[in-house]
Amino acid sequence: MEQSWRWFGPQDVVRLPAIRQAGARGVVTALHDIAYGEVWTVEAIEARKALIAADPSLGLHWNVVESLPVHERIKIGEGDLTPLFDNYRASMRNLAACGIRTICYNFMPVVDWTRTELFHVLPGGGRALRFNMHEFAAFDCFMLARPGAEADFEPDVLARARAWFDAASESDKDRLLKTIMAGLPGAFGRYDIPGLKRILDRYRDITADGLHENLARFLREVVPLAEELGIRMAIHPDDPPRSLMGLPRIVSGADDIVRILSAVDEDANGLTFCVGSLGAGKHNDVPAMAARFAERTHFIHLRNVAKEPDGSFAEAEHLAGDSDMVAVVETFLREQGRRKDRGDQNWRLPFRPDHGHELLDDIGKGSFPGYSAIGRLKGLAELRGVMIAVARIHHLQI
């Protein structure tokens, strides 16, 4: 499996030599300075490639795009979408012309990954991402004041949410809003409360079926070109895999994935298998899903979460959460062996350690939450050890 590393470009406090020191060679990045819906030019792509490869001794290369964002209007199905589809396909052509052929994207409405704490303190002083259900309920019910929001939460969660809200200072509420809006590091836009209400109103008539049809339309627009160009499209699961703020989410479980892959049943229409995102849903058997969808998986995020009965969860150590990471790794090692045996040129599956804890000298350094160097280095080293052991026991190739 190709050891890779998420890098946010020149603004990332984790520098390129640290990626090599961690043991990765593949760089997962995107052009975050380009607004959603605009074309990624060959010149901009080549400039990022050149930056990554500027020091040949590091041996780094750009192997996965994460993400080529889908414009919100495509998700809503709003207005004349032809220019947006044309621009997306133009970016795909330009990426392929530059030799980059794996595109991770998501179809989460409004917000990407969502947490209520970015710096939850762990024993020993490390810090982790965390989702507290009662804090999210306080935001949804009492800060956003979304009509009908109370029906989405259990009574005990609502009681704790009310207690949190009543005791919260304005700075506490401001911190929670900024945390929920933090989303994917490098995301182009953020919302305040009035702005969030406006975008939610644009989704007021969108059901889960409607959102799926908008995704299916997007796939019909881009997958044929992906097949032609040799590009692998890899949709990322919802994080967390549940409705937020009344918005439908349609990449949250096995049935959702089956529906998406069958909407355009081509190999280019594939999956980013994120252990942590899927693992945050108590309805998901992650190792079984890895086995079921391995053939259509084009990119892998290896991270783990520890769930709580009320739906809260925290980022765990890579090998210590609720999902059996060893079983997942074995599944994907076997899958890439199958691809190699059938003669696939690009048989090695790219993966990256995700959402590492903030540890040691990285604490307070200002890295993107979940993307400090030392925590991901630790995770990658642990995962590398698992891969080597599993490969040796089962006579597989790393």
Residues designated catalytic = 236, 274, 301, 354-355, 371
Taking a C-beta distance cutoff of 8 angstroms, is the pair 145, 119 a contact? no
Q: Facing residues of 130 across strands?
A: 117, 314
373: CB partners within 8 A, 6+ apart: 14, 18, 22, 362, 367
Residues with Cβ within 8 Å of 9's Cβ and at least 6 positions away in sequence, in order, are: 29, 30, 31, 32, 33, 48, 51, 186
The span from the CA of 117 to the CA of 188, in Å, is: 21
Instruction: Count Cα neighbours of 275 within 13 Å in the Cβ-side half-sphere.
Output: 34
Please count the helices (runs of H) and the strands (runs of E) in the chain.
14, 12
User: Looking only at Cα atoms, what is the longest distance across the chain?
Assistant: 62
Q: What is the DSSP letter of 294?
A: G
CA atoms within 13 A on the CB side of 159: 4
Strands (E), the chain: 2-6, 26-29, 61-66, 102-105, 117-121, 127-131, 232-235, 269-274, 297-302, 304-307, 313-316, 350-353
**CB atoms closer than 10 angstroms to residue 243:** 15
Structure tokens at 111: 């917000």
